[in-house]
Amino acid sequence: MSVLILEPEAYSPAAVALYRQLAPVHLATAPDPSNVEFLVVRLGHYIGRELLSAFPRLRLIATPTTGLNHIDTAYCDEVGLRVVSLRDCPSAIEQVTSTSELAFGLLLALLRHIPAAARDVVESGRWDRDRFQARQVQGLRLGLIGFGRIGRHVAGYGRAFGMHVRACDPYLDDAAFSDQQVERAELADLLTASDILSIHAKYTAETDGLIGQAEIAQMRAGVLLINTARGEILDEEAAALALRRGHLAGIAVDVLARENLVAGDLGRNPLVAAARDGFNVLVTPHIGGASRDAMHLTEQSLAAYIVNEVVHCG
């Protein structure tokens, strides 16, 4: 029996030590894949039938993420593979603010044209403030699509900046909103009345394509759209087209649909293409949770859960 940490770069030493309580730990590759029973992954690989076929004795996959679209969970269910994620460690992830901070950073960068202004100075040698006139964030209407942990964090940041914050989430009761001093709204109302929309919904079969052509058409002209949840929630073709036509004023995403598949050919992605054509688009490579603080905390919490709750108590 052994544990394979598939992407070990800067992995939490404390997490590695916990996994060593179960079995010998291998980093990146295993000398005998047929002996691997625990596979620990991040987001660099698509964990599907082809990859998993190399591990005939595998019984558990551990991923320090909340989203699972990098894993073929249907296949795992079919063959009896257990998938353990941060969804199983809710108390630990309440302390993680990295993705929330990135979402609000993208909001400010998009609104104030910060990357474009910096490039213009450095690459073009211009000092032209009038090219980058924008609006101040105070007083703008922020609509949050999804009001879980990250949505709640972003709501707090928005209120601190003097924004009018509203949110929608059909899976929560009214108290979840009133406790955060955030007005509850229906999705249709958020679409038509927000200056900035930020997506924080969980990716499920129900939220696949949640923000599509019809929803984008309902948005007020000049809205800014941010997605740090999962790429599949947003219709990227429809969003890029609305941007090119001037209906959307800007888009910032930290996630792309099927990002494990498109990473080798990013130019074909409509949002990346729009950014390359000079539109107000920011694309970052799923760095929301990629802070050392967050990664080590989540990696250690997940390892502790597996060792103490899954293996020793399971």
Question: Which active-site residues does the annotation give?
Answer: 230, 259, 286
Two structure tokens written together for 245? 């036509």
Please give the angle made by the CA atoms of 91, 92 and 97, to the nearest 5 degrees: 110
**Rg of the chain's alpha carbons, rounded to an integer?**
21
- Which amino acid is present at 63? T
Rounded alpha-carbon distances, angstroms, from residue 122 to 12, 115, 116, 118, 281: 37, 11, 10, 6, 19
Rounded alpha-carbon distances, angstroms, from residue 149 to 7, 108, 166, 169: 26, 20, 15, 12
DSSP state of 243: H
d(Cα 249, Cα 279) in Å, to the nearest integer? 9
